[in-house]
Chains A and B, each alone.
Chain A
Amino acid sequence: GQNIDQPTEMTATEGAIVQINCTYQTSGFNGLFWYQQHAGEAPTFLSYNVLDGLEEKGRFSSFLSRSKGYSYLLLKELQMKDSASYLCAVRVYGQNFVFGPGTRLSVLP
Chain B
Amino acid sequence: DSGVTQTPKHLITATGQRVTLRCSPRSGDLSVYWYQQSLDQGLQFLIQYYNGEERAKGNILERFSAQQFPDLHSELNLSSLELGDSALYFCASSQDQGGQETQYFGPGTRLLVL
Contacts and interface: CB of A to CB of B under 8 A. Distances in A.
Interface of A: 30-31, 33, 35, 37, 41-45, 48, 50, 87, 89, 91, 94-102
A50 B101 CA distance: 12
Nearest to B103: A45
28 contacts: A30-B99, A31-B99, A33-B99, A35-B43, A42-B2, A42-B90, A42-B106, A42-B108, A43-B90, A44-B105, A45-B102, A45-B103, A45-B104, A48-B100, A87-B42, A89-B43, A91-B99, A94-B56, A95-B99, A96-B45, A96-B56, A96-B58, A97-B45, A97-B58, A97-B99, A99-B43, A99-B44, A100-B42
A87 B104 CA distance: 15
Contacts of B58: 96-97
Contacts of B2: 42
Interface of B: 2, 33, 42-45, 48, 55-58, 90, 92, 98-100, 102-108
A55 to B, nearest CB: 12
Contacts, number: 57
Looking at chain B's contact residues, is the secondary structure mostly helix, strand, loop, or mixed? strand
A99 B45 contact: yes
Contact of B43 (A41, A44, A48, A87): A87
B57 A96 contact: yes
A102 B92 CA distance: 18
A66 B56 CA distance: 22
A48 B99 CA distance: 9
Nearest to A94: B56
Nearest to A91: B99
Nearest to B90: A42
Contacts of A87: 42-43
Contacts of B105: 42-45
B107 A42 contact: yes
Contacts of B106: 42
B26 to A, nearest CB: 12
Contacts of B108: 42
A89 B57 CA distance: 15
